Structure 1
Amino acid sequence: MVSALKVRDFRLLWGARAIAGLGTSLLVVAVPAHVYAVTGSALATGVTLAFEYLPSLLLGPFAGVPADRWDRRRLMIATDLLHALAISVALLARTPDTIWLVYAAVLGQGTAGVLFRPAAAAHTPSVVGTGPALTSANSLGAVTTGVVGLSGPPLGGLLFATSGIDGAVAASVTASLLSAAAISRIAKRPRDTAPAEGPAAAAARRVLADIGDGLRHVRRAAVTRALLATNSLYLLANAALTALLVPFAVTHLGGSVQVGYLLSALGLGFLVGAPISRRIVDRFATRPALATGQALVAGAFALLFNSSSLPLALAAAVLLGLPGVTVLVAVQTRMQRATPEGLLGRVSSVFLTAEAAATMIGALAGPAVSELSGLPVALNAACALTLLSALLTLWLLPKGATPGTHPKPSTATRRRS
């Protein structure tokens, strides 16, 4: 079994992404808590959360252009530094009149993240290739994202409780600087020189043309188009189920402490499932592997949310981890293998934008259905929607999408001249 960790540059890139992700997740609890402490307003706190979504929704379609036209290594370093600078602005917000500075800080750090992710996703195949090591890299990335997502918010909340917003921001800034330092040690790779931008109007037209190239590829490539559709539906249902996890644990399992147990069990499932997912993605064709993973996620969620005891719910959460990480790895790996190297940044940004939109819709729709029809109806409807994503995969994804196809990067579509 090929391990991406044997590649020095991947170790640096993986470490940088993990550190940067941890720095961002430290703010998930700390920043809204600071806003509420300063203003005492739930509305102000909600506005903070809305600003976190805006960069992905507004800038997502454009974020892949610099990842394909500029040096990705330098771009990632620049976005790490932008994140550190932007979030530092939150330290100046100490009164209700200055709380707008937090919104500006969140908008700035969100913009940095939107630019960082397509560049990192596109650079991974350049570092490890498109063979089995790519599956290993995406498997490691998926489990790292899960672990960071579980550990970062409570750690940030602890920092806020002990040292206020200063401690959480300082830790996040430090993480960004460490990430930039790690990326700076990655070997430079030759890339085509981007054409001179010229007048602003001409540059804008070229940017729009580049975005159009990425969208046309998604529209014309059957595999990529199918992955985008089925993954968006899957993520929407997953976001709805995640949003309902807290009220379910409180009303059916005993309280908020049980939420922590469920999240820990889910994290354990991801850790156990990561190495197995590599074998599944490389051994089986994408269509049955992805559809089976989505169906198993639907079943595990149904078991979890229809559990009457905590042990059964914990077992379901652990079982959820294996197919959950397999779905993430299968979608990411197949998209990277099906996309020419020169379009990877733009195609990745399309997927990230769709992910942000689906997550936002699901997070709002789940609780809304729960308010209208009750929690059990909302939970089971979201499980059914997850199962529907598996059926959509079987319907849309071509049968020829096999794991052994590792196309060489294309140079013909790297950039418009």
Structure 2
Amino acid sequence: MSSGPGADSAPAPNTHDDARTTSLKPKGGTFSSLKVRNYRLFATGQVVSNTGTWMQRIAQDWLVLSLTGSSAAVGITTALQFLPMLLFGLYGGVIADRYPKRRLLLITQLAMGLTGLALAVLTLSGHVQVWHVYLTAFALGLVTVVDNPVRQAFVVEMVGPADLRNAVSLNSANFQSARLVGPAIAGVLITAVGSGWAFLLNGLSYAAPLAGLLMMRTSELHEVEQAPRGKGQLREGLRYVAGRPDLIWPIVLVGFIGTFGFNFPIWLTAFVNDVFHAGAGTYGLLNTLMAAGSLIGALLAARRGTSRLRLLVGAAALFGLLEITAALAPTFWVFAALLVPIGMFGLTINVTANSSVQLATDQAMRGRVMSLFMMVFMGGTPLGAPLVGWVTDVYGARVGFLAGGVVSVLAASAIGFTLARAGGLRLRIDLRRGRRHVAFVPREPVPRKEELAATV
């Protein structure tokens, strides 16, 4: 790793065993990771830039809707932002495994700030057109190809494997805290002075994570194995995941959820515009309510000691059922209230899948595995968003939202039974009082399946 301020006076480098070591126990407490100086710097910078990111997301969605009047156009914008992840996501993982992650993050955070400033100049000058938004969304997506797996894999270098699950949860809490503030600020700015100022503040917000990265003591980072340059590293990563049911099935599940269940920019703009006939302030309110639920989910996840796959499957099923219920909500306030638990269970899916996959992955493979995870989770959006946008335009907001919930429930059910079968488990239903009514129990003692059964 490259040196940074304060590195000379720092203690010797940390080393640790592979992150899958089961003897490592978290230090305890919801905010235990914040005891690590480098992680505090990282988290402080991220909350500032995340606030700017949410401001830009809201302003971008509303700008596209204002320019085109089409939910499908909002879907295209979202798709273009995530298309690079689908096309090039695995290459980002190879880069993350080869090069120092802090150095890569300095580059990606600077590039992200520049895309926000470019869109701000176009909008404030009055020259913005919808293709400009498409282009900047695609450029941001290209940077994200590298930034996402690097940022995910960098967490364990800052806090070590014992606090990894806690740090992943706090990252999500950080992101959702910003989501509480960003949409509200964006709604005020859009109404008062226009979208351009939200883009400008987002671009400037990246100064905070850049400063945090530069202030880190690099000698306090935990050493991790870096993959040497070589041929066939993409195929090696895919073979590694393909041979691990405890990795591949959670990734498949979040792929379905990310592709069809997380299209909230499309659904919420459509509900606000076509069902409730409101404006940007209401759109910001709905995003804030969902963020409140997500923040609750993140803090609960930070206190949780394990990331079992049954929690992932159960959260995905409840998430889909809540989406179906919200799609049929008779009034605005019922719809708005349901967004809180939707946000909570959506965040639980993300944190549980992320931490369980990271903890089950060897150090030298973590960048490639997390790039595949993010490629499937986010890269499915270019496939799902235009389709969901078309369904929403043609059949209405309620049908579009309902379809996303149905797909999420079906995916959770199918993969839940697949994981149970692979782990040698069967579903037991016991309706007697005082008993656990629904549970997975061992089908038969099969030694090779014991490890997977323990994770389920």
**TM-score, normalised by the number of residues in structure 2:** 0.73
**Alignment check: 8 A CA contact 1:13 1:183 kept:** yes
Match of 1:66 in 2: 95
Match of 1:115 in 2: 146
- Structure 2 SS opposite 1:26: helix
1:11 to 40, 45, 48: 40
**Alignment check: 8 A CA contact 1:92 1:101 kept:** no
- Structure 2 SS opposite 1:304: helix
1:264 aligns to 2:298 (yes or no)? no
1:337 to 339, 354, 359: 359
**Alignment check: 8 A CA contact 1:89 1:101 kept:** no
Q: Which amino acid aligns with 1:385?
A: V
Tell me, in whole angstroms, the C-alpha distance in 2 between the residues paired with 1:309 and 1:303.
Answer: 12
Tell me, in whole angstroms, the C-alpha distance in 2 between the residues paired with 1:102 and 1:259.
Answer: 19
Q: 1:402 to 1:260 in 2, by over 3 A?
A: farther
Q: Deviations over 1:30-64 (max 9, x none)?
A: 55777899xx6779x87765643343233322111
Q: 1:331 to 1:264 in 2, by over 3 A?
A: same
Q: 1:330 to 1:336 in 2, by over 3 A?
A: same
- Structure 2 SS opposite 1:244: helix
Q: How far apart are 1:272 and its partner, in Å? A: 2.5
Q: Deviations over 1:191-217 (max 9, x none)?
A: 55775x7xxxxxxxx3x6222222222
Q: Deviations over 1:395-416 (max 9, x none)?
A: 33354447889xxxxxxxxxxx
Q: Deviations over 1:291-345 (max 9, x none)?
A: 1111211222222222223343333222223322221111011010111111111
Q: How far apart are 1:142 and its partner, in Å? A: 1.9
Match of 2:159 in 1: 128
Q: How far apart are 1:260 and its partner, in Å? A: 4.1
Q: Which moved more, 1:57-66 or 1:158-167?
A: 158-167
- Structure 2 SS opposite 1:307: coil
**Alignment check: 8 A CA contact 1:240 1:364 kept:** no
More helix by share: 1
Match of 1:145 in 2: 175
Match of 1:302 in 2: 324
Q: Which amino acid aligns with 1:243?
A: I
Q: 1:14 to 1:360 in 2, by over 3 A?
A: same
Tell me, in whole angstroms, the C-alpha distance in 1 between the residues paired with 2:405 and 2:310.
Answer: 19
Match of 1:172 in 2: 202
Alignment of 1:269-308 (within 5 A): 269-280=293-304, 282-283=305-306, 286-308=308-330
Q: Which amino acid aligns with 1:220?
A: G
**Alignment check: 8 A CA contact 1:89 1:102 kept:** no
Tell me, in whole angstroms, the C-alpha distance in 2 between the residues paired with 1:295 and 1:261.
Answer: 26
Q: Which amino acid aligns with 1:119?
A: V
Alignment of 1:1-40 (within 5 A): 1-2=28-29, 3-30=32-59
Match of 1:201 in 2: none
Q: 1:42 to 1:56 in 2, by over 3 A?
A: farther
1:324 to 323, 327, 346: 346
1:348 to 370, 381, 387: 370
Q: How far apart are 1:261 and its partner, in Å? A: 4.0
Tell me, in whole angstroms, the C-alpha distance in 2 between the residues paired with 1:165 and 1:368.
Answer: 25
Q: Deviations over 1:278-299 (max 9, x none)?
A: 445x35x623211111121122
Match of 1:409 in 2: none
Tell me, in whole angstroms, the C-alpha distance in 2 between the residues paired with 1:255 and 1:30.
Answer: 16
**Alignment check: 8 A CA contact 2:324 2:405 kept:** yes
Q: Deviations over 1:55-111 (max 9, x none)?
A: 323332211112111110111112122233444444664576999776665444433
Stretches of structure 2 that go unaligned for 5 or more consecutive residues are 1-27, 424-450
Match of 1:396 in 2: 418
Q: Which amino acid aligns with 1:275?
A: L
Q: How far apart are 1:166 and its partner, in Å? A: 6.5
Q: Deviations over 1:111-159 (max 9, x none)?
A: 333322211100112222333x222212222233234345435534655
Match of 2:440 in 1: none
Q: 1:172 to 1:248 in 2, by over 3 A?
A: closer
Q: 1:249 to 1:34 in 2, by over 3 A?
A: closer
Match of 2:442 in 1: none
Q: Deviations over 1:340-399 (max 9, x none)?
A: 111111111112221223223332222323455555444333222111122133133354
Tell me, in whole angstroms, the C-alpha distance in 1 between the residues paired with 2:77 and 2:311.
Answer: 38
Q: How far apart are 1:10 and its partner, in Å? A: 1.7
Match of 2:244 in 1: 221
**Alignment check: 8 A CA contact 1:20 1:80 kept:** no
Q: 1:301 to 1:92 in 2, by over 3 A?
A: closer
Q: 1:58 to 1:25 in 2, by over 3 A?
A: farther
Q: Which amino acid aligns with 1:24?
A: T
Q: 1:220 to 1:318 in 2, by over 3 A?
A: same
Q: 1:87 to 1:313 in 2, by over 3 A?
A: closer
**Alignment check: 8 A CA contact 2:169 2:302 kept:** yes
Tell me, in whole angstroms, the C-alpha distance in 2 between the residues paired with 1:191 and 1:296.
Answer: 37
Q: Deviations over 1:217-275 (max 9, x none)?
A: 22122111101111111222313466223333555556346544433322222222323
Q: Which moved more, 1:183-192 or 1:386-395?
A: 183-192
1:237 aligns to 2:268 (yes or no)? no
The total of aligned residue pairs comes to: 390
The alignment-based identity, stated in percent, is 24
Q: Which amino acid aligns with 1:8?
A: R
**Alignment check: 8 A CA contact 1:231 1:331 kept:** yes
Tell me, in whole angstroms, the C-alpha distance in 2 between the residues paired with 1:7 and 1:87.
Answer: 30
Tell me, in whole angstroms, the C-alpha distance in 1 between the residues paired with 2:336 and 2:226.
Answer: 52
